[in-house]
Structure 1
């Protein structure tokens, strides 16, 4: 697997303007995440350690609206550290990165979780994070470290965005499913595909990056011109594409090809991901500069890399753990194996070219 994984709008940019529901549903549709309520501040654990100041007995985590772990998992943090964990939710991943980047030295929390590799360079460049190397990172997380950084962010999980195919639909219709990203150039497959606008969808942006990394600098634009000219449907967000247009989605639509996640087939039997089409999305945690409880923040980063949390991630948030040796839920190895290779683009390169690539994409598809 390539190590520089680059797969969930900062400072007013419209690059990935999908709302929290789009992202939450995409990552946890099997858990019924459609009904998630956006809560500004959520206390996950109650009580505090005896003695000590409030800042020492409580640690606050700033995260995106899709964060969820079972109470019994979160309970272990208080048992192990004696600290109360409070969770502050701050919109989608782009909004989260923006909040952190705009408040260096005056953070809204002690630690942050949920900034991904497409936004990672922004808070690092803003000086909003304290370097920290968790002793647990060497077990796997270090492989996903942000290139050319000083350990300001620690990888916690990965979620690979890929084309998904409804294999049952193809079998029922006596047709051969596509086997690669390049197959979408064929008008037959293009008309069967539901793709995502990268300006309004975070997995849509990831899929755009997959095409940029797969084809040469000029070739990716030609790819999009061909695919859309041949009839591919482009919609604003994952929920529309997967649950309304995809033949295996809740709405039983008429598109047997859709942009989703490599983990999606674990939730939708009879489907599979085209593993040559994946862009690796990595989510990070970090200690916020100026944190009231920096020691608690470091312990929280360690906790997110612990076996307890890593084993809970797949079924809680439908992402892959980064720590080596973490078992996947039963059936995942067969129905939703993690890609062995993914497209790799450094976060700094994405940040430098995001707006240009978006405009080139608009020109290519005629938007």
Structure 2
């Protein structure tokens, strides 16, 4: 029997449906490319080698999109939730994590290695996975303190003295991630009843406030010709000084004050709406692998979360991992962050 036009149309429709379904299933399992959205500092460190092993193993290329700082990145991900810009997001830290979780932009995923990671870093609903951590701490110029024979301050309370406060540069908490982290550390140390008094004392004693870390470290720090021998930076800054020194150094020219530090943890998550959740999970697994984790310290100057990853000699010799850094729950930060910043501005700027 010769098929009618109606029969032909039905068969064509069924063929298209079957082709679409089959194509979608194949694409979801083996995409040619995954897109990773990240903050600028991570994206700037990515090279052809960063994800080469992942591509060799899976056949999947990784495209990295730079999305500004962590706050801007989260805002973009939230606004594009219904049509995600990427498959995986990396670089959201504690200070902005709650905003991302509240917006429900992540698809839960539990990596097989999760039980081996530091358990205090784990999201118990598996919405995000810790990848690295870094400690925001006071750094000091060793040469300046040796020449002046002034003792390095032993705690935050000592900073109230004019000799220290007038030689200290901090970053603005509304415009700088380390500035916000240091402010959180002072809230932890002095409590809700005392932290603003501490900042008022610093203000009266001549503390300097910079808009961002680059200005504070490379513009105000005596190490680079500035007038502040103390600066809010990272526990990993001393090894960076050694690695990037123009002349070989056997000792870091800067040191870390281990009290009053704040630990920032960076997370990765699979974005809800990705057509490639399985492949996205493979990418997160790769970012937890020893190979990728051992790339982290000398590329982004933070610490890997995988305990099997070995630190480079420069990190072992020239940096410290504070024993008891401050960490606040993401929800607690989200609940109070805007109020804390506004109170800080009122004290410091009037």
- Give TM class, smaller chain: 0.7 to 0.9
Instruction: Report whether the alignment pairs 1:292 with 2:275.
Output: yes
Match of 2:149 among 149, 174, 180: 174
Q: What is the TM-score normalised by the length of structure 1?
A: 0.82
Partner residue of 1:129? 106
SS at match of 1:60: strand
Per mean C-alpha deviation after superposition, the further-off stretch among 294-303 and 165-174 is 165-174
Offset at residue 142 of structure 1 (A): 4.1
CA offset digits 1:125-172 (Å, max 9, x no partner): 1111011111122221543124xx511110000111111011121112
Cα root mean square deviation, aligned:
1.6
Match of 2:215 among 213, 226, 240: 240
Instruction: Report whether the alignment pairs 1:162 with 2:134.
Output: no
Partner residue of 1:266? 239
Match of 2:288 among 259, 280, 305: 305
Match of 1:279 among 262, 268, 272: 262
Q: Distance in 1 between matches of 2:87 and 2:259?
A: 38
Larger-gyration structure (1/2): 2
Q: Distance in 2 between matches of 1:205 and 1:230?
A: 21
Confirm or deny: 8 A CA contact 1:110 1:296 kept in the other structure: no
Match of 2:228 among 255, 272, 292: 255
CA offset digits 1:230-262 (Å, max 9, x no partner): 11111111111110110113xx11210000001
Q: Distance in 2 between matches of 1:66 and 1:113?
A: 11
Partner residue of 2:166? 191
By relative contact order (CA 8 Å, sep 6+), the higher-ranking structure is: 1
Structure 2 runs not aligned, ≥5 long: 1-24, 242-251
Confirm or deny: 8 A CA contact 1:304 1:310 kept in the other structure: yes
SS at match of 1:91: coil
Partner residue of 1:325? 308
Alignment of 1:1-367 (within 5 A): 52-53=26-27, 56-67=31-42, 68-140=45-117, 142-146=119-123, 149-249=124-224, 252-268=225-241, 269-367=252-350
Structure 1 runs not aligned, ≥5 long: 1-50
Q: What is the TM-score normalised by the length of structure 2?
A: 0.86
Offset at residue 71 of structure 1 (A): 2.7
Offset at residue 100 of structure 1 (A): 1.5
